[in-house]
Every structure is written in structure tokens, then in C-alpha cells.
């Protein structure tokens, strides 16, 4: 009788362990969806290339930097704070070397000690990070971290997804 109980208990534990393995597989599938989600967000943002800069703007008539990032994420039901400073507190701060497409990249470009500019990473090209953002002079463009201006004003990267 004891052997039968032990065998039954062993069977239950074995089946339970097997089902946990399926959960891990689901997590990997979820990570792939996150990558696809990031690509979709970036694709949406690039539709605004060439749009002029407008402080507080969130439409194709004009965008500021955080407006571009905000509407791009919002299109896929991810609600970020509206300002670049508040966005810098959202998600998980990551090392620059761990940057991926869809991450948020932050700068201090106003000569003060406060984050005031945000971009959305569009491409990792070797050791170069490219990002889309709304520039006050050129509107929505893609820039490179190899440009001295952005290299010198870079502060942090956050993963929001």
C-alpha cells in the first residue's frame, strides 16, 4: 500500500514539474512578442520622419521629443508619462551596452543638470546606437550616438517593455 502511495505522489510531482516547463516555454514566446512589439513601436514612430518640431505636439502637424515617444508607445497600448524627465523614471534603467531596439534613450541637452530630451532606439549597428527623436531645428529625424553632440549629452537608457 505504501508503495502505491509513493508511486502516486511521485507521479503527481513529475507531472507538476513537467507543467512548469511549459510555463518557461511560454515566457520565451512572450519575450519574442516583446521584440515584435518594440519593432512595431519603432515602425510607427518612423512614419513621423520629417514632421516638424512643435513644443507639446503629439500629431503629424508637429511633435516634441517626448510627444513622439508617447504616441508611438500609446499606439500599442503602452502608456508612458508625457515628459522626457518623467519617462526617465519609467521602466528599468539598463547599461548602454545592453541597449535594444525600442528602448528609450535620454539626454541632458539644455546645459542644466536635468534630463530634457528622449529618443527611441531604432537600430543597433555594431557599437553604434541609432534613435529617432524630434529635434527643435530639424523635426523628427534619426540620429546616431556616434555624433559628438549626443555622445556628450547622453545620460541613460531605459527598457520600457
Residue the block writes with cell 502637424: 61
Instruction: Write down the catalytic residue from 133, 154, 157, 159.
Output: 133
- How far is residue 18's CA from residue 10's CA, in Å, rounded to a whole number? 12
Q: Is 133 a catalytic residue?
A: yes
Question: What's the grid cell of residue 90?
Answer: 519609467
Q: With H, G, I as helix, E, B as strand and everything else as coil, classify residue 158.
A: strand
Q: Is 17 a catalytic residue?
A: no
Name the DSSP letter for residue 98.
G
- How far is residue 100's CA from residue 131's CA, in Å, rounded to a whole number? 11
Instruction: Write down the catalytic residue from 41, 45, 63, 65.
Output: 65
Q: Is 65 a catalytic residue?
A: yes
Q: With H, G, I as helix, E, B as strand and everything else as coil, classify residue 150.
A: helix
Instruction: Write down the catalytic residue from 42, 66, 87, 117.
Output: 117
Query: What is the set of active-site residues?
Result: 65, 117, 133
Amino acid at each position: 500500500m505504501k508503495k502505491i502511495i509513493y508511486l502516486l505522489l511521485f507521479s503527481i510531482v513529475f507531472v507538476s514539474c513537467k507543467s512548469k516547463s511549459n510555463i518557461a516555454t511560454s515566457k520565451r514566446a512572450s519575450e519574442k512578442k516583446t521584440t515584435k512589439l518594440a519593432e512595431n513601436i519603432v515602425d510607427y514612430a518612423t512614419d513621423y520622419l520629417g514632421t516638424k518640431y512643435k513644443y507639446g505636439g503629439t500629431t503629424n502637424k508637429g511633435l516634441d521629443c517626448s510627444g513622439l515617444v508617447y504616441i508611438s508607445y500609446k499606439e500599442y497600448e503602452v502608456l508612458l508619462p508625457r515628459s522626457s524627465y518623467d519617462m526617465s523614471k519609467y521602466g528599468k534603467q539598463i547599461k548602454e551596452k545592453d541597449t535594444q531596439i525600442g528602448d528609450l534613450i535620454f539626454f541632458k541637452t539644455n546645459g542644466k543638470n536635468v534630463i530634457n530630451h528622449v529618443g527611441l532606439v531604432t537600430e543597433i549597428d555594431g557599437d553604434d546606437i541609432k534613435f529617432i527623436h524630434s529635434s527643435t531645428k530639424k523635426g523628427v529625424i534619426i540620429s546616431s550616438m556616434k555624433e559628438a553632440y549626443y555622445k556628450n549629452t547622453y545620460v541613460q537608457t531605459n527598457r520600457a517593455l
